Amino acid sequence: MTSVDVSIDHFQARARRRVPRLFFDFVDGGAGRESALARNITRLNDIQMIPRAPRDIADRSSAVTLFGQDYALPVGIAPIGLANILWPGMDLALAKAARKANIAYVQSTASSSLIEDIAPAAGNMGWFQLYTSKDDSITEDLLTRAETAGYRTLVVTVDVALPGKRRRDLVNGFALPMKMGPKFASQLITRPVWLRAALGQPVPRIVNLQRYAPATGAQSLAAFMAAQISPSVDMDQISRLRDRWKGPMVVKGILHPQDAEMLADRGVDGVIVSNHGGRQLDCAIASIDALPAVVRAVGTRMEVMMDGGIRTGEDIARALALGARFVFAGRAFLYGMAATGRADAAINVLADEFDRALGQLGCRRVSDLSSAQCQGVG
C-alpha cells in the first residue's frame, strides 16, 4: 500500500484532478439534484455499530460462499457502463484484478469491452449483467454469447426503464463521440496523465451492441442502446428469463420488499437492493434503508445483496450486519484505478478496511456480524 492508498475518498479526489472533467462527472454524478447519490453515502455513515469485546479475533476470515462459488471478500465490482471513459483499459484491468483477488466482477451489457474479451480475464469470478432489449432476438443473442463465454451468474437490471436526468452531463454537453472543440481540448491539455494513457487506445463505445445496430458510430451505438432498453420488463418476462438461463439468476434494482417476494415466487435466486447508485430516481430511498425490509421478506428464500454508497470497509460491515449476504461497489473501483493507474488499488483498501472492521467489531467470520450491533437504522 502506497502513500496515496489512504481511502476511496482520497482516490476520488485524486481522480478528479487526473481525469477530464466531463468524463469524471459522467461517472461521479447522479440524477437530478444528486440527493439519492448523497443519501446512499450519508445513510450508511449514520449507522453506528457496537463492538463486542473481549473476543479472540486472531484467526479472522473475510471469505464467503455465494451460489456455490468461494470469494475472498463479500464485495464485488458492480456492472459499469463505459468504464473505459474514466481510465483507458479499465474494464479488462478490473476483470483481471478481480480474478487475481478472488472477488466477483460483473460485466455490463453497456461495457466498453466485449463479452468475449472480458470473460476469460474474469474467469470464474465473472458475472454477466443484462439490459433486456425491446427486440427479443437481441436479448437472446446476448444471453447465448454470455453462456458461450462461460458466465455462470446472470444479473438482470430492472431499474432503467427510463433514463435518469443527469444534470452534470447536460451542463457539460456530454455525448459520444465527443466533439473536439476549445472547451474539450482545454480539458485534455490540463489532464496530461490521462491523455498519455489514452493515446493509441480505442474510443470507448458500447461495443457489445455493435453487431445489432444499424450504424456503427459511437454516438449511434449509445442512442441505439437507449432506444432498445425495454420499458416493458415485468414479472412475466422475468419468468421467461428464469426459464431460459440455467445458472444462478439475480435481479438488480429492487427497493420494495413485495417486489422481492414476487421475484422469489418466480424462482429468482437473488436480488441486489439498489437505487442504481443514485443515477436514476433522485427521490429514491437509500439502498441501505431499503435493505432490512427486503431481508425480512425474502432473506430465507433467496440471496439478498446490496449496492449504493459503499466507500469503506465499515460500510461493507454495516450492510452485512443488516442482512446483506454480499455487497457491490462501482465508483470506488473506478476511482482507485483513475487515481493510481492500478486496478487493485481499491480492492486492497477495501480488503484492509473490512478486515480491520471485522476484528474491531469482535467478529472472526462474516457470519458473526449481527444487526444487534447496529444503531441508527432507518
- Residues marked as catalytic: 276
Question: Do residues 250 and 273 make contact, with C-beta atoms less than 8 angstroms apart?
Answer: no
Helix, strand, coil shares, percent, the chain, to 5: 50, 10, 40
Identify the burial level of 377 via C-beta atoms within 10 angstroms of its C-beta, where 0-12 means exposed, 13-18 middle and 19 or more buried. middle
What is the C-alpha separation between 358 and 371, in angstroms, rounded?
14
277: left (phi over 0), alpha (psi -120 to 50) or beta: left
CA-nearest of 57, 138, 59 to 363 is 57
Pairing of strands 374-375, 326-329: unpaired
Give the C-alpha separation, 223 to 73, whole Å.
Answer: 37
| Secondary structure class of 44 (helix, strand, coil) | helix
